[in-house]
Chains A and B, each alone.
Chain A
Amino acid sequence: MQRREAVRLLGVIAAVPFLPQTAEAASELAARIHRDVQGGVGFRTLSATQQRLVARVADAIIPATDTPGALDVQVPQFIDHIMTDWASPGERTLFLAGLAELEGRVAGLDGAAFLELLRALDRDRAALSGSAHAFGRLKSLTVYGYFTSEVVQRDVLRTQMAFATYTPCAPV
């Protein structure tokens, strides 16, 4: 405790906040704070139709079982957030074009045929464009968004942050 106090003292020697050095840096900082506060709620890139398709695909990749599924942890919202605030304009265009193609291909398919199509696309998920490309992005982001969500980290994986000791060899 004492040590932490001493370290804290080091920090207040110059209590001036760290100022952005340029006007551009200042406005970027403001934009980042705004984004942090927003937290990615709601949809900003995907249209209502695209949202339904993304949700259907995400649900097929990680359905709800005895544990929550992709839709329970807002994976479509996460995908929209990444496509809005993270992806480059080129990547977003490519993804949306692939999604449009996928939309055409799934129209009218029943559950089994839909799954069959997704399995075919899955084998081609590294494709650089088209519906297989859109599926590859959806899959990667669905898995990532699902497993990094609070509910899955806490209740499904029961991720532990700290350990009293290192165990080099334990049964899986």
Chain B
Amino acid sequence: MEIRAIGCEPLSLKRIGVKDGHTLKVYRDMGGYKSLEKAFKMSPADIIEEVKKSSLRGRGGAGFPTGMKWSFVPKDSPKPKYVVCNADESEPGSFKDRYLMQYDPHALIEGMIIAGWALGSSTGYIYTRGEYKYLIDIMDIALAEARDAGLLGKNILGSGFDHNIHTHTGAGAYICGEETALLSSLEGFRGHPRMKPPFPAVEGVYACPTVVNNVETFTSVPQIIEMGGENWRNLGTEKSGGTKLWSISGHVKRPGVYELPMGYADMEKFIFEDCGGMLRENKKLKAVIPGGSSVYIMNAGQILGKNVTLDYEGLVTAGSMLGTGGMIVMDETVDIMESTKNLTEFYKHESCGWCTPCREGTDWLVKIFNRISDGGGRPEDAQLMLDICDNIEGKSFCPLGDAAAWPIQSAIKQFPEDFKKWLVDKAATRNGIEANV
């Protein structure tokens, strides 16, 4: 599987293929922890300003401006502050954070210490999905290296600043990738999300100011400090700064993790040239989910010849979202009713159960999909599912409800023939009377 940069010098992927790149020695040989030294000479306010200038946006899917998130932490709060890394990577189609942790653990550590300095925090946690146990072991080794070298603990590099980072395991729950559910889980409870406001920056873990950021967001921070926020932003576009890791899977010849400059033009070139084109030469492109399962599905007509640029704005213009950059490519052999059913089962399994619209809605959607795939589809099922999606979207505590609705809404809109096949052509007959179209 490929892991490489295209259209830019590798930044996040700088240590891929470098022997022992995960060790402290090699990290330092390649300039690692120089950003931390530089950061200690800057004021916390200046660091936050630099991150704002970079226009770094959360790489975990929500894309919230990171500098703005950090600035929400109240500087004069007497409570201890926490830095939490969201390594719960569970979005279907996304598989980038695991390679950052495996091959570049010190980049994550350095980014979190800089964040700790900027936010006045002395404790950080790396919340890692339980299935990634081997990565927790790798992070523990890297953290021990950092501690032994005085890069963690008391008076780091003689700065007077104390900071410790601990790993923490999840136990199988996609919802714990949502930052407030993550904090519930970190406290030892069921992974239920919490109402915002208050935002974690004000009241997070243990009701203390907390910044939760994705792995790739933190690993971008040393890069930003090293080259300056504006230079980092200019690697991408005005509103989508820097580079982004894309995870490509499905029916392409070269699936893998690719680092692209934000604004890379365009999605068609990326799929057909950089990723080697369709897996089976005689099967045409049918559908792409560009940013992880929770974004709108796109049909080939929205991509071919449309110059879809790979940045936040470009994907919205094209009718979808960037999300996590987890791109799933599907050829004409995929039945979109079946693929949407598969994702709906995912959201139903992962719904935490707190909110009625999401808990009951995802359950009913799965039941309807089961009836359809058993041959009992009815023409009115499309509207029925859209009505249920309408009752979930925007009406639950957290975005999982929306994420469950969007695949269905976009699939029915972009692939009506696939649904017509199941709902009309194979429509249920009652007492021998054909259902009305």
Decide if A and B are genuine partners.
no
Which residue numbers of B lie inside 8 Å of A, CB to CB?
none
Which residue numbers of A lie inside 8 Å of B, CB to CB?
none
